[in-house]
Amino acid sequence: MSAEIDGWLAAINAPTGIARVNTDDRYVVRTDHTAAQDIDGEVVVINFDTYHYYGLNRTGTAVWNLIAPGGRTVDEIAAAVATAFGVTPKLAMPHVMSLLTRLVDEGLAEKTAKTAESPAVLAPGGPYEVPSLEKHEKLDQLILSGE
């Protein structure tokens, strides 16, 4: 692993009370606590424990789709994202790690011992953007607001 990636790892894994992400950890969507729907290439996720809802951009959606069946390592996810979006794994790695940290912290994903049954492959995804997770108000407040 390069010194630059080691630096990103140190920053991401700094003792802040957030989830620690290692490149050989495997991740899965917490399907028992969430529901997700793809809308025009971007996923909207509801956390049934908190009733918050979230939006993932296209790159974040690609990560979500890779961990939905479960058992993908951070290395596998970063490599698949890099290939699909035409960037290097070195560029994608810290972004993927940051998103996975947020997904775990928000209760949307978790580490798993399960190994994926199929290779991590994505269709070409267009221009690369940093994967993001946008948190929104509680779902019941949205429904009551009538928006």
Mean pLDDT score of the chain, rounded to an integer?
Answer: 85
Q: What is the pTM of this model?
A: 0.82
pLDDT tens-digit readout, 28-69 = 999 999 999 999 999 999 999 999 999 999 999 999 999 998
If pLDDT is split at 50, 70 and 90, which confidence band does 21 have?
A: confident
pLDDT tens-digit readout, 65-112 = 999 988 899 999 999 999 999 999 999 999 999 999 999 999 999 999
Please, what is the angle between helix 89-105 and helix 58-67, to 10°? 70
| Residue 80, SS3 per DSSP | helix
Domain locations along the chain = 3-137
3-137 CATH, one of 3.90.930, 3.40.50, 3.10.450, 3.30.70: 3.90.930
